[in-house]
């Protein structure tokens, strides 16, 4: 099968979405498909909408493929182009921009609705994302598949006793991993830590994307008098990030919205219970009270209660850490994810498999079915 992938920037991006695209390309190629990557230049949202009216984008998409995958992040540059393309299109949706708590959400929703009306199928990283796509007028259920990312970025070799021993060591060590921007909720975490009576330390790893927001978070830390317990090292190379996670007790990212939240799964690979929110797809990874805690977005008191429960009961922390590791171990790997996506691509492109069998369609649970 000849597959294309259109995205902003390149496959070398460091975010979870780019890692997903990169692993998907690797999996498709390993399965025998050819994949041609079409990289569009990064654009601001308004400039992307202008690009959608330009013939230059359509010319760049003049490639010989059976089906084109498109990273939905690039939808502003594609919304006015897809109808003119000679091949079917499947959108890879990590999360819809309109699902985030943004001032311009109604505009984003209108544009994404128009974009989704131009695609023939959708790959969604979670059931929450699939529901958002369907609610925004996306493809029908038999042309949509849930194919979650694997969390094997690190995959340390851990024993249950190692997790239990670490849980009983010293102050509660909390890791935050994510871009330092409003959506990720570091401000909520910092405010929540003010509710803790128990000793704690926080390391917040991530690129400082929003300078004004970073200043706001630093002011909150200074006002609370906790500067000596908080580190903001910025983005770290994977080996250094792994050291942070290996030394931590809990991962806390009280995001205002996550389409999936691969970071929670990556933390669970180190035996870290997760503190996440009920917004988006985190609840598909974090089981409240078992592998972590789910709180409402923008609820510092709820974050504080969750962390206090773990700091004050180290047996509970150890038990939830072991449960988190088991949850990571039973999560689908990239091979299963690629298989689900390939079934959808064959169905959309009406391409026969090598043995001549009919193309597959995809059931509502993500499993392939012969049609």
Question: What whole-number percentage of the chain has pLDDT above 90?
Answer: 80
Task: Flag whether pLDDT at 237 surpasses 60.
Answer: yes
pLDDT at 351: 57
pLDDT digits (tens, 9 = 90+) for 76-104: 999 999 999 999 999 999 989 888 877 88
* Antiparallel, parallel or unpaired: β 2-8 and 121-124: unpaired
d(C-alpha 82, C-alpha 279), whole Å: 31
115 and 132 within one domain: yes
pLDDT band for 359, please (50, 70, 90 cuts): very low
Task: Please tell me the total count of domains within the chain.
Answer: 2
230 and 181 within one domain: yes
The CATH number covering residue 294 comes to: 3.40.50.2000
Angle at 99 between CA 277 and CA 153, to 5 degrees: 60
Task: Give a yes or no: residue 269 inside a domain.
Answer: yes
354 and 294 within one domain: no
Joined tokens for residue 296:
């409402």
Task: Flag whether pLDDT at 112 surpasses 50.
Answer: yes
Task: Give a yes or no: residue 155 inside a domain.
Answer: no
pLDDT digits (tens, 9 = 90+) for 164-202: 999 999 999 999 999 999 999 999 999 999 889 999 999
166 and 42 within one domain: no
* Nearest one of 220, 272, 218 to 241, comparing CA atoms: 272
pTM of the model: 0.86
Task: Flag whether pLDDT at 113 surpasses 70.
Answer: yes
Report the pLDDT averaged over residues 253-276: 95
92 and 188 within one domain: no
Task: Give a yes or no: residue 164 inside a domain.
Answer: yes
Buried b (16+ CB within 10 A) or exposed e, 279-293: bbbbbbbbbeeebbb
132 and 93 within one domain: yes
181 and 58 within one domain: no
Mean pLDDT over the full length of the chain: 91
177 and 284 within one domain: yes
301 and 183 within one domain: yes
Domain that includes residue 239, residue range: 160-329
């Amino acid at each position: 099968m000849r597959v294309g992938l259109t995205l902003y920037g390149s496959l070398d991006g460091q975010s979870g979405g780019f890692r997903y695209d990169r692993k998907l390309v690797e999996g498709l190629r390993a399965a025998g498909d050819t994949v041609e990557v079409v990289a569009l230049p990064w654009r601001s949202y308004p400039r992307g909408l202008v690009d959608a009216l330009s013939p230059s984008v359509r010319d760049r998409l003049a490639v010989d493929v059976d089906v084109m995958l498109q990273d939905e992040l690039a939808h502003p540059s594609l919304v006015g182009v897809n109808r003119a393309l000679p091949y079917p299109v499947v959108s890879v949706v990590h999360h819809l921009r309109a699902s985030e708590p943004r001032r311009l959400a109604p505009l984003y929703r209108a544009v994404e609705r128009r974009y989704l009306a131009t695609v023939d199928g959708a790959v969604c990283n979670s059931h929450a994302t699939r529901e958002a796509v369907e609610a925004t007028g996306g493809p029908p259920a038999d042309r949509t598949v849930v194919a979650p990312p694997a969390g094997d970025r690190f995959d340390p070799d851990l024993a249950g006793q190692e997790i239990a021993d670490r849980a009983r060591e010293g102050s509660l060590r909390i890791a935050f991993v994510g871009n330092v921007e409003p959506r990720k909720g570091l401000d909520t975490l910092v405010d929540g830590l003010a509710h803790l009576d128990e000793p704690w330390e926080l390391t917040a790893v991530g690129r400082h994307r929003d300078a004004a927001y970073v200043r706001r978070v630093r002011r909150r830390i200074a006002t609370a008098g906790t500067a000596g317990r908080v580190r903001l090292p910025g983005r770290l190379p994977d080996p250094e990030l792994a050291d942070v996670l290996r030394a931590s007790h809990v991962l806390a990212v009280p995001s205002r919205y996550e389409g999936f939240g691969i970071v929670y799964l990556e933390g669970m690979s180190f035996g870290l219970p997760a503190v996440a929110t009920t917004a988006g797809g985190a609840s598909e990874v974090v089981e409240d009270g078992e592998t972590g805690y789910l709180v409402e977005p923008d609820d510092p008191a709820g974050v504080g209660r969750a962390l206090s429960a773990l700091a004050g009961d180290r047996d509970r922390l150890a038990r939830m850490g072991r449960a988190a590791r088991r949850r990571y171990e039973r999560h689908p790997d990239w091979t299963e994810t690629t298989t689900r996506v390939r079934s959808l691509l064959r169905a959309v492109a009406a391409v026969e498999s090598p043995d001549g069998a009919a193309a597959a369609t995809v059931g509502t649970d993500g499993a392939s079915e012969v049609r």
